[in-house]
Amino acid sequence: SNKKLLVLPGDGIGPEVMRQVRRVVDWMDKRRHVSFDLQEGLCGGAAIDAHGTPLTDETMADALQVDAVLFGSVGGPKWDDLPFEQKPERGLLRLRKEMDLFANLRPAMVFPAMADASSLKRELVEGLDIMILRELTGGVYFGEPRGVETLADGTKRAVDTQVYTTPEIERVARVAFELARKRGGKVHSVEKANVMHTGVLWRQTVTKLHEAEGQGIELHHMYADNCAMQLVRYPKQFDVIVTDNLFGDMLSDCAAMLTGSLGMLPSASLGAEDPTTGRRMALYEPVHGSAPDIAGKDIANPLAELLSFAMLLRYSFDMQEDADMVETAITNVLNAGFRTADIYAPGTAKVSTTVMGDTLLRE
Ligand code: NAI
Ligand code: MG
């Protein structure tokens, strides 16, 4: 039963960084005798050029039946003038919607050689490895009622509504416990139960699920404002942080800056579990976009895409050893002083995308 993988490189630097992942996949096939049932497809501008739509129904259907999707990045100036519904980004939005990707995973990992790129002191972040899990399809960005109205006296009044149901909270908390089991065994659930009803329900629901399904997991509750402070004060206290859409938006950007480089940030989005197979819909992608300013020059940093692939191995394919191998190779390459232009520092060796891939394969 080969694991099914759909690869969507997309536009700009997407195909350039994905090429380095494909080399690692080939290496694994040849040297470790693990092979995937791998298909490659078009998404974004590339699909618009070939088929007139950012994502065909066929590719959408493929995404729904594979074990995981590895995504590059979409968009670019060539398609900027298209109407909103036809833009490359719609391809990614359709994937997210139809796969019902409700859990967004944003790890913040600091490789020893990169600790000086952080906005914090080296000793605070060296060896940092935390995971922010953000609820992605509910909360204040979607709750009803919403809108702006003009009152009789001419005053304007804007409304957004935070709504969460127990199933929405349960499913994301369940993912948090699953992740913690494959990591450090600790979960911080973050809300503002002191001032928000959704926070009270969040805390109750997570506590109840922990009693039922959280054996062996250490659970802590923390207010979101305190969490922001703790992330900057002493981030290594965290393993998995699970929180709602709004707080997760802020806290994941804050955690990202602890690592210092856009070209090294992976992410994942997980969806519903298939009741019969237990398989979870999953899409892995770097946080960065298609970087049109550097596309076609072989200078993009492929590490965010490679780290996204390592996450895929760890969380969708349960291949811990292979995931460790990719991450260790990256650690060693950075320790040896190899850097793409975006993370270059005096005293290191500036290399191209391809040479970064060569060096990684050697490791
Ligand atoms: P961007 O992330 O593509 O680029 C921002 C800056 O970071 C640029 O200077 C770029 O050269 C640099 N950069 C990004 N990734 C890098 C890497 N791997 N190595 C070295 N340098 C890197 O964001 P921007 O410029 O706002 O958007 C460019 C295009 O990408 C737009 O069309 C946008 O819509 C699209 N985009 C797509 C995303 C996706 O596919 N998920 C996410 C964000 C933007
Ligand atoms: Mg944000």
Q: What is the pLDDT of residues 14-67, one digit of tens each?
A: 999 999 999 999 999 998 888 899 999 999 999 999 999 999 999 999 999 999
Residue identifier of the C-alpha nearest atom 25 of ligand 1: 291
Would you call 307 helix, strand, or coil by DSSP? helix
Q: What proportion of the chain, given as a percentage, has pLDDT over 90?
A: 87
Q: Residues whose CB is under 5 A from ligand 2 (ion)?
A: 249, 253
**Residue 276 has what pLDDT?**
85
- Ligand 1 atom with the smallest distance to the CA of 80 is 32
**Residue 256 has what pLDDT?**
86
Q: Is the pLDDT of residue 222 over 90?
A: yes
Strand-pairing partners, residue 242, are 133, 189
**Residue 84 has what pLDDT?**
84
**Residue 1 has what pLDDT?**
57
**Residue 360 has what pLDDT?**
97
DSSP at 239: S
Maximum pairwise Cα distance, the chain: 74
- Ligand 1 atom with the smallest distance to the CA of 74 is 40
Ligand nearest to the CA of 356: 1
**Residue 120 has what pLDDT?**
86
Element (H, E) at 362: helix 353-362
Ligand nearest to the CA of 74: 1
Query: Please, are residues 104 and 172 in contact by the beta-carbon 8 Å criterion?
Result: no
- Ligand 1 atom with the smallest distance to the CA of 288 is 2
Q: Average pLDDT in the 136-152 region?
A: 94
| CA 286 to ligand 1 centroid distance, Å | 10
Residue 275: is it exposed, middle or buried by C-beta count within 10 angstroms (0-12/13-18/19+)? exposed
Ligand nearest to the CA of 288: 1
Rounded to two decimals, the pTM is: 0.92
The candidate with the shortest Cα–Cα distance to 190, out of 248, 234, 151, is: 248
Q: Average pLDDT in the 262-290 region?
A: 91
Residue identifier of the C-alpha nearest atom 6 of ligand 1: 291
CA pair distance 256, 267, nearest whole angstrom:
11
| CA 199 to ligand 2 centroid distance, Å | 21
| CA 215 to ligand 2 centroid distance, Å | 33
Q: Average pLDDT in the 200-223 region?
A: 98
Annotated binding site: 76-89, 96, 106, 134, 225, 249, 253, 289-301
Report pLDDT digits (tens) over 281-307. Answer: 999 999 999 999 999 999 999 999 999
Q: Is the pLDDT of residue 116 over 90?
A: no
Annotated binding site for substrate: 96, 106, 134, 225
Residue identifier of the C-alpha nearest atom 12 of ligand 1: 291
Instruction: Give catalytic residues, as residue numbers.
Output: 141, 192, 225, 249, 253
| CA 288 to ligand 1 centroid distance, Å | 5
Q: What proportion of the chain, given as a percentage, has pLDDT over 70?
A: 100
Q: Is the pLDDT of residue 196 over 60?
A: yes
Element (H, E) at 79: none
Give the domains, in start order, of the chain with CATH numbers. Answer: 1-112+260-363 (3.40.718.10), 119-127+135-259 (3.40.718.10)
**Residue 161 has what pLDDT?**
97
Report pLDDT digits (tens) over 68-108. Answer: 999 999 999 999 999 988 999 999 999 999 999 999 999 99
Q: How confident is the model at residue 259 (pLDDT cuts 50, 70, 90)?
A: confident
| Average model confidence (pLDDT) across the chain | 95
**Residue 274 has what pLDDT?**
80
CA pair distance 80, 10, nearest whole angstrom:
15
Side chain identity at residue 274, one-letter code? D
Pocket of ligand 1 (CB under 6 A): 13, 17, 73-76, 89, 92, 262-263, 285, 288-294, 300-301, 304, 342
